[in-house]
Structure 1
């Protein structure tokens, strides 16, 4: 709260809510989100069980694993959207529950698996929704530039005036990502951002993740494509049945035996013939 003079009360002071302050710039390696011994129950069933993970500024962390392993639940817990039955989730060093919703909105931006709207908002307005946390603050003046940049980076500026409801699934996914980028929060939490995209735009999204990390943000991305994770992530956490089976750099974690066991599918991990980068492919007898 802060005190201001009211023009209608002869200069008497009145209390008005203070706008939350944005976080200070993070240094490379700062922990912007972490889960410590986190257990999450959904419908009385443990979906995460004793999970520990740290999300650092300047890095892309990929969450991978089979369906039902707990990837999206872990992302939701790190976003402070899914409550933990046990353990603690911290965002910018504080337990998630100690932040207000406006404070969280300045610290983390979340891309859910699917984006839907009840009204036919134009694309540009959907992207501008990402600027809501800054309304009335000093950085509100950045709104137009932030929206324009986000739309250009995700290649959606060409249909800025079209209704969101008229877009294809892949176009909607890119608009939703543009909204997240326009928010300009230092922690990005992206749930399967490449699921509806063609090859070109899958690569575009992961390049944007790398760019945001190089600029100092922390990025967590849920992926099913292990080759994309190997190419773009600094670290990967492999989830299996609500626990982390392995965590580390892709070259350390992407082991044929481990992945074959986790996915219950034989895989091969091979060096790319030109670059030497890791390729993860199913082992096929055809």
Structure 2
């Protein structure tokens, strides 16, 4: 469904990604993890066809990313950027309906109302459908932005830090939605900082460091203490708890002195 071959990307004259290879399949959630500045957001934008390659290529459904028109891309892949800024007070329902724009004047436009309602229900924003987007909290805005992406109904979904502004309950909700989309046959790529969420919900994890993928595979294989400690510059332990959905990554911290 999506392939990067020997992908190198420059931004502002600096090389950000170095010879990246990655293949994504339908029915999988792939998490991109790594420290700040590792190149996760740049890789996501390149995979979406929004950033050109300096060398190598991205192929979407077997076609070079540059061979797709903007409308074709919008009908095949939906992208959630890190920041969603709107200066006009559109109502929440209007924002979500914007995700249906690629399907205007096509037979799929008959699904608009149902797609919008389903996306708002999945992200728990129906209750404030008529409120202006500019009046929402940061977490509410993040969920509305995700609802817009879901309403687009594309087989490829790319999400950049969708849980960053969310509380614990809604972090779990977002990743459950990702799993549901994958179970329905879509390919989902999500940039995450929370390794616990990646371990619990991702089928595959690609670990980036300094613009390169240094590990790629199931969380149970990739989440290895020595590797993660080296990548993050922070000693960690990896714990497998009975009944847990995936491995837990725990930073090593100095013990507090007991109160005297």
For Structure 1 versus Structure 2, the TM-score category normalised by the shorter chain is over 0.9
* Residue aligning to 1:174: 143
Provide the C-alpha distance between the structure 2 equivalents of 1:57 and 1:196, rounded to a whole number of angstroms.
28
Larger radius of gyration: 1
Shift of 1:276: 7.0
Shift of 1:92: 1.1
Task: Count residues in correspondence.
Answer: 255
1:84 maps onto 2:53 in alignment: yes
* Residue aligning to 1:158: 127
Cα RMSD, aligned residues only = 0.8
Whether the 8 Å CA contact 2:223–2:238 is kept in 1: the answer is yes
* Residue aligning to 2:111: 142
Deviates more, 1:60-69 or 1:276-285: 276-285
Query: Residue 117 of structure 1: which of 73, 86, 97 is its match?
Result: 86
Shift of 1:116: 1.0
1:36-115 superposed matches below 5 A: 36-115=5-84
Provide the C-alpha distance between the structure 1 equivalents of 2:111 and 2:44, rounded to a whole number of angstroms.
28
Question: RCO greater where, 1 or 2, for CA within 8 Å and sep 6 or more?
Answer: 2
Whether the 8 Å CA contact 2:28–2:202 is kept in 1: the answer is yes
Provide the C-alpha distance between the structure 1 equivalents of 2:225 and 2:55, rounded to a whole number of angstroms.
33
Larger helix percent: 2
Deviates more, 1:271-280 or 1:129-138: 271-280
Shift of 1:43: 1.5
Provide the C-alpha distance between the structure 2 equivalents of 1:94 and 1:213, rounded to a whole number of angstroms.
22
* Residue aligning to 1:218: 187
3-state DSSP of counterpart to 1:117 = coil
Shift of 1:118: 2.1
Shift of 1:273: 4.1
Deviations 1:156-204 (A, max 9, x none): 0000000000000000000000000000000000000000000000000
TM-score by length of 2: 0.97
TM-score by length of 1: 0.88
* Residue aligning to 1:194: 163
Ranges in structure 2 where 5+ consecutive residues have no aligned partner: 256-260
3-state DSSP of counterpart to 2:49 = coil
Shift of 1:221: 0.1
| CA distance 1:139–1:274, change in 2 (3 Å) | closer
Provide the C-alpha distance between the structure 1 equivalents of 2:168 and 2:41, rounded to a whole number of angstroms.
23
* Residue aligning to 1:208: 177
* Residue aligning to 1:235: 204
* Residue aligning to 1:262: 231
Deviations 1:125-177 (A, max 9, x none): 00000000100000101000000000000000000000000000000000000
